[in-house]
Amino acid sequence: MQPLEALTREARALASGSYPVIPILSVNETEVGRQMMICNSCRYCEGFCAVFPAMTRRLEFGKADINYLANLCHNCGACLHACQYAPPHEFAINVPQAMAKVRVETYADYAWPAALGTLYKRNGLTLSLALVAGLALFLMLAAGLQGSLFHASAGGNFYSIFPHNLMVGLFAPIFLFAVLSLSLGVRRFWMDVSPGAATAAAVGDAADKVLRLKFLDGGHGEGCNNANDSFTLARRRYHHFTFYGFMLCFAATSVATLYHYLFGWEAPYGLTSLPKLLGIAGGVSLLIGTVGLFVLNLNRHPLQGDAAQKPMDRGFISLLFLTAASGLTLMLSRGTPILGLTLCVHLGAVMALFATLPYGKFAHGIFRSAALLKWAIEKRQPNSLQLGDD
């Protein structure tokens, strides 16, 4: 559908010899293409989300279109339960599942550096190893620096266990690498099906859809499907708890960084200080959100989504939970002998989380936001098709 971008990419690929000249569809992409041809001649699901209106602007589905549509899909399940062609019908339409299978391929395909894209393939293992490595790192550091984990609660000051500069030196590069990696990945995704320049209205629209999780409302406001054909707002709400909890924790860290460098106010901060309040609120919110999402994930209808990705989904949810829980425990364990141990667990979890951000479930937020922005731009452009009334 975007011949210029496709040609440019082909030319670039040809020059570098890094990419197949003709984008060959994967098995999963071919399946999405097959299903979209059927959906496009039915269109009953147009009211649920952005995937189907975006589909109706196309007659053919190339690799880039399929990757774009797959990332627009929120796996809400509405179209699966409403589908007259869902299994056991011979057309075997299951859009949420087909899209999920492609989605994880796009994360891997667009990953930077490309070699690390394979980390998506066995993501449960990736997360476990990252966590073990993170824990081991801090336990060994603590042991090395302090000689023991259990005597170091010098007034509850973490920096007496791990000096501030050491922590910055460890976390800053990992975090910046994650940001760089995700940015380069999503940039490649964007170039592939760039629908044009983003206007302020389009950016505002996309931000609204992202921040409100509009497409988990079912199109009618009663929510998405989870265990069966009934609607629930639980997933949308628990995702909000998780997302905004994460952002509050991020804000707590950011404020603390400003305090440290701008004002020279060093941690620990008081219970009513801004970093503490943000951190506590964020941590509690994360705990509620991740527990809710985990239970919903366990109860999800077996046909909805890709079963092979459950380890990635649940691994990421668990890592977020561990980060929040260890963070809150750390606060409560100040002045106790377990401070050193909880600090190591918390820092290990955070390190594992940061290190795997570009190679795990976290990527869904970035790619989906980009897809929603594409849609916000695309829908403001005139439709090139003039399909008559049926």
Site for other proteins, rule CB under 8 A: 37-38, 40-48, 53, 56, 59, 78-79, 81-85, 87-91, 219-220, 222, 229-230, 384-390
Task: Please give the Cα distance from 281 to 265 (Å, whole number).
Answer: 21
Of 65 and 313, the one with the shorter C-beta distance to other proteins is 65
Task: Please give the Cα distance from 373 to 304 (Å, whole number).
Answer: 25
Beta carbon of residue 220, minimum distance to other proteins (angstroms, whole number) = 4
| Cβ 267 vs Cβ 258: under 8 Å | no
As a whole number of Å, the end-to-end CA separation of the chain is: 23
Beta carbon of residue 61, minimum distance to other proteins (angstroms, whole number) = 11
Among 33, 173, 47, smallest CA distance to 93 is for 33
Beta carbon of residue 225, minimum distance to other proteins (angstroms, whole number) = 10
144's enclosing H/E stretch is helix 123-146
Among 178, 176, 183, smallest CA distance to 369 is for 183
Task: Please give the Cα distance from 346 to 162 (Å, whole number).
Answer: 13
Beta carbon of residue 34, minimum distance to other proteins (angstroms, whole number) = 10
Of 87 and 169, the one with the shorter C-beta distance to other proteins is 87
In 161-179, which positions are buried (b, 16+ CB within 10 angstroms) versus exposed (e)? Answer: bbeeeebeebeeebbeebe
**Residue type for position 372:** L
Place of tokens 């452009």: 381
Beta carbon of residue 120, minimum distance to other proteins (angstroms, whole number) = 32
For residue 13, CA distances in Å to 18, 39, 106, 250, 390 come to 6, 32, 17, 38, 41
Beta carbon of residue 36, minimum distance to other proteins (angstroms, whole number) = 10
Beta carbon of residue 191, minimum distance to other proteins (angstroms, whole number) = 26
For residue 87, CA distances in Å to 94, 97, 273 come to 8, 12, 55
Of 37 and 168, the one with the shorter C-beta distance to other proteins is 37
Beta carbon of residue 90, minimum distance to other proteins (angstroms, whole number) = 6
Of 19 and 44, the one with the shorter C-beta distance to other proteins is 44
Of 230 and 381, the one with the shorter C-beta distance to other proteins is 230
Of 359 and 375, the one with the shorter C-beta distance to other proteins is 375
Of 79 and 98, the one with the shorter C-beta distance to other proteins is 79
Beta carbon of residue 25, minimum distance to other proteins (angstroms, whole number) = 16
Task: Please give the Cα distance from 128 to 313 (Å, whole number).
Answer: 13
Of 200 and 385, the one with the shorter C-beta distance to other proteins is 385
Structure tokens that stand for 233 in this block: 């707002």
232's enclosing H/E stretch is strand 231-232
Residues 6+ apart with CB under 8 A from 257: none
Of 219 and 340, the one with the shorter C-beta distance to other proteins is 219
For residue 57, CA distances in Å to 48, 69, 249, 259 come to 16, 12, 40, 50
Task: Please give the Cα distance from 290 to 317 (Å, whole number).
Answer: 6
Question: Radius of gyration over alpha carbons of the chain, in Å?
Answer: 23
Beta carbon of residue 48, minimum distance to other proteins (angstroms, whole number) = 6
Of 29 and 105, the one with the shorter C-beta distance to other proteins is 29
